[in-house]
Structure 1
């Protein structure tokens, strides 16, 4: 395991590229990010696809719920022009497309199961099957705000790493995480106070705060040696980390 704090690119390098597109993932890898954070939903025909919102309205030129569109229909949408005309070629990637591309690259992958609003029956199994198929169980973390999903993951697979997503000041969340079989804490940035980071480290529980975009926050978390930060700006985070490593 690396000694330094890892940098995970939030929806890819989403500060500079359209989120959850191959362009954003490739840019993050090129910048030197340690890992990617992506969001998974299911198409109408059960294909795990990478998109943050439950509808396609915000990040494509289409309209409607992801769950009501087939994979083929989703592939007809432009998932980049909303960000900039240069990305009109971008599509909504399938999880399988990302895993195929990642297989020969030393990246970690945090997959957020988007089961908080839409109930996607079988999404946990569909994701695990594909991760196993590409022999990437040891490089993947499954996280969710819906902790019932994490219990399902643990029932389906004994060792894949899971992380609770949360945005509140939970008391000793490392104890609670164990009740759902999770090993890690993915908390919103304001929750990642020194007291939490110190106690979680003592409890042997990795903490990966999101979404860390200000250099001052990056620096504080690198110095606190948390397991990782999740950021829209991996290029900047890597620069801040490099500067700290030079002076330490």
Structure 2
């Protein structure tokens, strides 16, 4: 039987401040198979891990990520907004995460956040770091910017890419193949039986997001290749109950 992998969405973001090293370590401790994170570039083109295009929601700062140098960005508190116990957590660099992840067995889903802010050259910067830490065989690059996925595939056809989408597309595996992509990362409500069955027949992995409710986890465990969840500890427990 297919073992559905569990990716921790922005780390164990249900219990820790998202996209921080403490959230990633918690995901590893919880027994997740992989982590999902978001990459953007600072003003001085350092790839950093943060979801929003601004720092307003998840730090004590204000403004666009692209307008901060890394030296400025790392001084922001990226944990206190979640709970005072995490005060002082910093926005990590992609390099720091890869250095931490390399000796583990974790898989890594890197989402390129280059739809609203385009970040020219982000694909090459990210691929160079993946090569430096020799984790290519454990990385999936995803994006809502599908032109960016085509660029990743052009630069390195051996890196796995996955199409992020929110809509109920017809036969999205055919679209993904046209881009040279290897996976479908769909919004949970569009992970309908027809999509799951068709993608499985086409040998195209499906990894829905964000799968947080117990009934949704139970419905998808053993029914798709992976789920992306804020609650990896809970998902691991449910998976054990379902096998």
Aligned Cα RMSD in Å? 0.8
Q: After the TM superposition, which residues 228-247 of structure 1 pair with which residues of structure 2 at under 5 Å, given as runs?
A: 228-245=226-243
TM-score between both structures, scaled by the size of structure 1: 0.97
User: What residue in structure 1 maps to residue 192 of structure 2?
Assistant: 193
Q: CA contact under 8 A between 2:98 and 2:133: conserved in structure 1?
A: yes
Question: Cα deviation per residue 1:37-75 (whole Å; 9 max; x = unaligned)?
Answer: 000000000000000000000000001100010000001
Indicate yes or no: 2:123 matched with 1:124: yes
Runs of 4 or more above 6 Å deviation: none
User: Which residue of structure 2 aligns with residue 8 of structure 1?
Assistant: 7
1:180 deviation in Å? 1.1
Q: CA deviation at 1:158?
A: 1.3
> What is residue 80 of structure 1 aligned with on the other side?
79
Q: Distance in 2 between matches of 1:57 and 1:221?
A: 34
| 8 Å CA contact 2:98, 2:130 repeated in 1 | yes
Hey, what's the Cα distance between the residues in 1 that align with 2:45 and 2:163?
A: 24
Give the secondary structure class of the aligned counterpart of 2:242: helix
Partner-residue secondary structure (3-state), 1:82: coil
**Alignment partner of 1:30 is 2:15:** no
Hey, what's the Cα distance between the residues in 1 that align with 2:114 and 2:178?
A: 19
In the alignment, the residues of structure 2 paired with residue 32 and residue 100 of structure 1 have an alpha-carbon distance, to the nearest angstrom, of 19
Cα distance in 2 for partners of 1:177, 1:91 equals: 35
Correspondence for 2:62: 63
Q: Which residue of 2 aligns with 1:100?
A: 99
Q: Is this contact kept in 1: 2:108–2:139, CA < 8 A? A: yes
**Residue in 2 that maps onto 1:115:** 114
In the aligned structure 1, how far is the partner of 2:215 from the partner of 2:133? 37
- Unpaired runs of 5+ residues, structure 1, are none
Secondary structure of the 1:130 match is: helix
Structure 1 CA distance for aligned equivalents of residues 182 and 99 of structure 2? 26
Report the Cα distance in structure 2 between the residues aligned to 1:228 and 1:27, rounded to whole angstroms: 19
Match of 1:59, SS state, is coil
State the distance in 2 between where 1:94 and 1:107 align.
Answer: 18
- Tell me, yes or no, if the aligned pair for 2:3 and 2:222 is still in contact at 8 Å: no
- Work out whether 1:209 is the aligned partner of 2:208: yes
